Structure formats: structure tokens, C-alpha cells
Structure 1
Amino acid sequence: MADQEVVKLGPRNDSVLYLQKDGHLRQAGFYEAALAGSLKLDKVLISAMVERWRPETHTFHMPFRECTTTLQDVAVHLGLPIDRNPVTGVTWCDWSELVEDLLGVVPPASAIKGGGLKLVWLGAQFNFHNLAGADPIQIMYAARAYILRLIDTFLKFKRTE
């Protein structure tokens, strides 16, 4: 299958997944998304789908009818819950304090841009190599950091399509 390419999603070292069996990733609803791990891409199929995509209507024009990808499709494929409250609105908070509360480290001002955290800094803080002897709090922080990196990976993957 020369037309298939394997794309690895997530961090280079995914040992955090093995430490989480039924833990933080599953509780957050990201365990199945993390297990997506690698995808086999069929270049011929992707080319055929690109030819049928109509950006003005956000649909695929197939011989049998128009099709579109829905939020439910994404939820089913990635195992993400979509039946909870949405995250919307304006947020006013001290981002450094929020990061410290959720990840256990205080980011330098250079690591925060507007309402976002630079993932280069996040990757440097949580490299997932030394979690075997970590305490439960450190594992929780690492799982949260991993979820942020996982979301970023899916967003980057989507932007490159």
C-alpha cells in the first residue's frame, strides 16, 4: 500500500497513556482521542475527497448526494463527549495563576500570549520521560499538559489538510 502514510499524533513519547489506564485522560473524556495515536492515510482517497469538496457550502459532492462532516462525526471518531456545556464567552483571569493551578508550574510572561499558552514552553516543561516515579499530582498535571498538546496536534493536523 504505497499510497498510505502513517501520521503520528501527540507527543513523541506517549508513555503517559500507559500510566493513565483508567485515570485522568479517561475522566476528561480524552482517552479514546489519545488512542487515535496513528492514522493510516490513503492518499488516493484523500485526493478523491479533495476533488469533491465544495468550500462555498462546506460539503462533499458525491454521486449519490451531498455529505458533510458534523460535530457528531468528529465526536464518534475521536470518542469525545459533545453533550456537556460549551466553552464560550469572555474570560477575565490571571493566566499565570490559572496555569499554576492547573499544571503546577508558573509560566514566564513570555510563555503567555493573550489568552493562550505557548506550547513550545509547555513541551519543555512536560516531556513525559520521567513519569514512572511521579506522584499522583504530577501525573494529573502531566495528563492535563498532554491533553493540551493533543488538542493542539489535532488542530495543527486540521490546518494542514
Structure 2
Amino acid sequence: MQQHNDTIDSAASADEPDQIHEPRLWRDKGWTARVIKNEDGEGWAVEMIRDGSAEPALVGPWTMGRNKVDPKPLDATAHQTLVKTASEVIRRHEQQLHAQLNKEVSIDFGDDVVSVRLTITPDEFEPFGTLIALNPLGDVLATTNVRPDFRLTRESAGRWAADGFGKIR
């Protein structure tokens, strides 16, 4: 029976050849945890880097070991917890970015309620915004490009509608 388990473990390792399971470096399941000296003073920190990323998604304090000098070694449970935390940080960051780049207001227009959406396209050289007016069925009534710093409010959307959904200067 023991030989069978070793075979399964070897097969799993062969599927993921980049795995590293060391006390201060743990790479597994698309993430790398690295225990580093704390730059802000004494002690240790851990950084979590997602495969393919240049910057850590998470850097936080790390627990001292029993000798109160060396860091506590990484293990599978700690790595799994750190992956979950780092993934949540990335998810929150993506939600915040989405909220910054996408806004929507509703306005009364004639007998209908019109939704006006602003989507910012964060291009490195020429960012821009796009305004889209939608009727209650989701049909596009109008669309126009705006400056990336355009401030979408009920008032600005109302002015756009009152001007016949023309180009905004």
C-alpha cells in the first residue's frame, strides 16, 4: 500500500515540475510564497506572488519560529491560507478598478427611464471614455466618446439627453 501512495505522489509531482516545498520558499498551485527579512524593522515577512506577475499580490508579517530568531517554516496549510488571502486581495483590487472605470446612472427622459453608462478605457497613451445611453429594453439610443476624466452624474447625463445625445465637448 505504501508503494502505491508513493507512486501517486510522484505522479502529482511530475504534473507540476515547478513545485518547491522549502521552509522559506513554497511554490505550488500557481503561487509562490517567499519568507523575507522585514524591511520595516526586525522580524520576517512573507510575500505572495502569482505565477506570471512581477509584483507580489500580498506582503505581510510572518511568524517567528520557536527560537525567536528564525522564521516559522512554510508548509502546505500556511501556503493554502496565503493563497486564499492573496487571491482575495487581487479580487478586491479588480472590483475597485472595475468600479473606477465603469459608472452608471438612470435619468428620466420623456416617458422612459434611460440608463447612461460611462466606461473608461485606460490606454497608456490616449485613454478615453465612452458614454452609452440605453432604453429600458437595453437598446442603445446613443453613444459618444468623452474625456477620460468626464464626471458622470445625473445632471451631466441629463444635459447630454437634453442636447439630443450629441457630442460632448
Check whether TM > 0.5.
no
Give the structure, 1 or 2, with the largest relative contact order (CA under 8 Å, sep 6 or more). 1
Q: TM-score range by the shorter chain?
A: under 0.3
Give the TM-score taking structure 1 as reference length.
Answer: 0.25
Give the TM-score taking structure 2 as reference length.
Answer: 0.24
The structure with the largest alpha-carbon Rg is 2
